[in-house]
Amino acid sequence: MSDRYSPPPAFAARARINADTYSALGLDRVSDDDAERLAYWSHAAEALTWRSHWHTLLDWQAPRARWFVGGTLNATESCLDRHLSTWRRNKAAIIWEGEPLQGERPTEVRTLTYQQLHDEVCRFAGALQNLGVETGDRVCIYLPLVPEAVIAMLACARLGATHSVVFGGFSAEALRDRIHDSACKVVITADGGARKGQIVRLKDTVDQALSDQRTSSIRHVVVLKRTGHDVKMVPERDLWWDEATANAKPLYQAVYVSAEHPLFILYTSGTTGKPKGVVHSTGGYLTGVSRSYRFVFDHKDQDIFWCSADVGWVTGHSYVAYGPLCNGATIFLYEGAPTHPEPNRFWDMIERHRISILYTAPTAIRTFMRLGDHHVRRHDLSSLRLLGSVGEPINPEAWRWYHDVVGGGRCPIVDTWWQTETGSIMASPLPGLTTTKPGSCMKALPGIDLCVVRADGTACDPSEQGLLVSRKPWPSMMQTVWGDDERYRQAYWSQIKDPVTGQPWYFTGDGARFDEDGALWIAGRVDDVVNVAGHRLGTAEIESALVLHPAVAEAAVVGRPDEVRGQAVVAFVTLKADQTPSDALKAALAKQVASEIGSFARPDEIRWAGALPKTRSGKIMRRLLRELATKGRVDGDLTSLEDFGAIAALQKDDES
């Protein structure tokens, strides 16, 4: 059938997992059987470098999973040291290309072998140690996508310090909240980054974030010289990266930590105004990312793997840094914007560097599709052998374009479903095995349980849409919300229970269905989280930002479908009685959101509302607003509305 794509025979024949190896390795039996599943994960964990072996594979007391109890390790030994005793010592670990800053410098390319990366990491770990960073401390990383971002992450891990990477697009306010929440000791940043020919003044933003008592935990700021423009250096507190490393004694001896030691915290949006610090372990996390990288991306030593995500998102943690490096892969990094300076930037780099695997987001794919095939077709992309998609549902049309135009019809596509919380890919085709359907992420990976259920926990029938849950713990699952175990339990383990035993299950927040063939289709979030261009935003977070403006009485934010970016943000705003609506006020509100969260969170549309539609108990009826934002009108049952007038007025507004 034309809507199914079986793995190209040439690909399947050489694939790590294909029909033969799949059953030979017993992978077909793994998901259903508890003992098989645990044996599978035990085997996967053996592929890491451990200092001492675990005595208990899993201690599971929902919602707390302790994997590999008693085991000790250092993440960087699995990512770096172990390759040094093999031929990979001289293999490229990172090939990086910078974005040219307007006329100032030619395209810059840097390559770091595993040996060189190891050296840089040990040296920077020594520098952090000099600055008083100790095992267990938190370090904030706020850098552009340069090799030093990966070096800084690994240097923290080398010391047993927990890194908290904050995406460079976040504002000073957002950075301050995150530094405060996990009481970071050091910030690692750069003078600036390059974005579409402009300088993003990261150091200025850090200074602004630190101009407040709430960040008093910070002792030092390490500044990488990237753009070379003038920045203010605060004596005693700030020092340049080069100064910090110049007289540091490299930390060749890694610090061993327990398998459960927090490798990193990554903040993500939830259903309240306050972002959650998702905590990931060391042993379990690495087991998940190294195994999934190997199987889903069919890891081969000859590959050059490009995951286009920023290290500020989980995709950048798991598949820019930890997963590929555990496998001794060569990763490609690109600092800048996908279409800068020309729309063919991606394809030009794939051709020049002979990149073999591209892992990117549907928003990027749809953007390229709109720009036209000719930008792609000009380039020799014959080095590509596998394509990946992540972050949002990919529509079949974009899938086929990716397959035909970018992949030349030769490359399987892996549509990978997962979350910040899951740490690693949970559902995806295995590219040498799975016959795929465009738009479906197909099937849970071996060792992963995924189930679609109704609100009461009973299983949905095939094709019936329900809620996506995981009934079994997996090694790379988040451990908790930083400093808030109760929020962890509430947010993920309180909504859905096993209808028979009453055991809580992990609720993903996504709606989904399995079709008649057992293929998994993700419908998107069912909670108050929107996904704009693969960026996850909490509607409550944007609302909190809006109501901080003195003119605003109330705000409700919803997502509406957007052809390119998946979803767009629409804000309904009620002004205080003495305020008059104006375009200038709209601009001021958008600016308010940019300064509270970051420019990427600016609403696409702000609509004035005389009043917001509420239930009798005073809850804003977001469903109605979503309908209004999407279709321009509201059908259906309005009987629980406090004030019909509110909706009527919004609809009338829409017609005018």
Nearer to ligand WT7 among residue 359 and residue 608 (C-beta) = 359
Question: Does residue number 424 form part of the binding site for ligand WT7 (CB under 6 A)?
Answer: no
Nearer to ligand WT7 among residue 211 and residue 463 (C-beta) = 463
Nearer to ligand WT7 among residue 524 and residue 581 (C-beta) = 524
Q: Please state, as a whole number, how many other Cβ atoms lie within 10 Å of the Cβ of residue 638.
A: 13
Q: CA 544, CA 557: separation in Å to the nearest integer?
A: 10
Which range touches ligand WT7 (CB under 6 A), out of 104-112, 207-215, 228-236, 508-516?
A: 508-516
Nearer to ligand WT7 among residue 511 and residue 610 (C-beta) = 511
Which range touches ligand WT7 (CB under 6 A), out of 17-25, 240-248, 289-297, 311-319?
A: 311-319
Among 113, 330, 436, 531, contact with ligand WT7 (rule: CB under 6 A) = 531
Q: CA 5, CA 412: separation in Å to the nearest integer?
A: 8
Nearer to ligand WT7 among residue 291 and residue 525 (C-beta) = 525
**Structure tokens, 643:** 């004030």
Radius of gyration of the chain (CA): 24
Question: Does residue number 113 form part of the binding site for ligand WT7 (CB under 6 A)?
Answer: no
CB of 419: closest distance to ligand WT7 in angstroms?
4
Residues numbered 347-386 forming contacts with ligand WT7, rule: CB under 6 A: none
CB of 9: closest distance to ligand WT7 in angstroms?
26
Backbone angles phi, psi at 22, to 5 degrees: -60, -50
Residues numbered 3-42 forming contacts with ligand WT7, rule: CB under 6 A: none
Question: Does residue number 393 form part of the binding site for ligand WT7 (CB under 6 A)?
Answer: yes
Nearer to ligand WT7 among residue 96 and residue 167 (C-beta) = 167
Which range touches ligand WT7 (CB under 6 A), out of 50-58, 201-209, 295-303, 390-398?
A: 390-398
Among 522, 556, 628, 646, contact with ligand WT7 (rule: CB under 6 A) = 522
Backbone angles phi, psi at 618, to 5 degrees: 90, 10
CB of 508: closest distance to ligand WT7 in angstroms?
6
Question: Does residue number 470 form part of the binding site for ligand WT7 (CB under 6 A)?
Answer: no
One-letter identity of residue 278: V
- How many alpha carbons fall within 13 Å on the CB side of residue 64? 9
Which range touches ligand WT7 (CB under 6 A), out of 165-173, 183-191, 308-316, 614-622?
A: 308-316
Nearer to ligand WT7 among residue 143 and residue 442 (C-beta) = 442
Bridge partners of residue 186, in order along the sequence = 139, 220
Q: CA 472, CA 460: separation in Å to the nearest integer?
A: 18
Residues numbered 189-208 forming contacts with ligand WT7, rule: CB under 6 A: none
Question: Does residue number 418 form part of the binding site for ligand WT7 (CB under 6 A)?
Answer: yes
Binding-residue total with ligand WT7 (CB under 6 A): 23
Nearer to ligand WT7 among residue 36 and residue 484 (C-beta) = 484
CB of 590: closest distance to ligand WT7 in angstroms?
22
Exposure string for 531-560, b = 16+ CB within 10 A, e = fewer: bbbbbbbbbbbbbbbbbebebbebbbbbbb
Torsion over CA: 173, 145, 302, 342 (sign) = positive
Nearer to ligand WT7 among residue 239 and residue 433 (C-beta) = 433
Question: Does residue number 448 form part of the binding site for ligand WT7 (CB under 6 A)?
Answer: no
Q: CA 330, CA 526: separation in Å to the nearest integer?
A: 37
Nearer to ligand WT7 among residue 101 and residue 530 (C-beta) = 530
Nearer to ligand WT7 among residue 250 and residue 439 (C-beta) = 439
Among 315, 330, 356, 539, contact with ligand WT7 (rule: CB under 6 A) = 315
Question: Does residue number 537 form part of the binding site for ligand WT7 (CB under 6 A)?
Answer: no
**Structure tokens, 503:** 């055991």
| Region for residue 418 given its phi and psi (left: phi exceeds 0; alpha: psi -120 to 50; beta: otherwise) | beta
Residues numbered 244-273 forming contacts with ligand WT7, rule: CB under 6 A: 268
Bridge partners of residue 466, in order along the sequence = 512
Question: Does residue number 510 form part of the binding site for ligand WT7 (CB under 6 A)?
Answer: yes
Q: Please state, as a whole number, how many other Cβ atoms lie within 10 Å of the Cβ of residue 472.
A: 19
- 557-561 long-range Cβ contacts below 8 angstroms, 24+ apart: 557/530, 557/603, 558/530, 558/622, 558/625, 558/626, 558/629, 559/530, 559/531, 559/532, 559/626, 559/629, 560/626, 560/629, 560/630, 561/630
Nearer to ligand WT7 among residue 127 and residue 520 (C-beta) = 520
Question: Does residue number 525 form part of the binding site for ligand WT7 (CB under 6 A)?
Answer: yes
DSSP-H helix ranges across 443-581: 485-493, 539-547
The DSSP secondary structure of 496-516, one letter per residue, reads -B-TTT--B-EEEEEEEEE-T
Backbone angles phi, psi at 512, to 5 degrees: -165, 170
Please, which residues have CB within 8 angstroms of residue 243's CB and are 6 or more apart in sequence?
Answer: none
Among 137, 260, 335, 415, contact with ligand WT7 (rule: CB under 6 A) = 415
Which chain residues interact with ligand WT7 by CB under 6 A? 268, 313-315, 390-393, 415-420, 441, 508-510, 522, 524-525, 531, 536
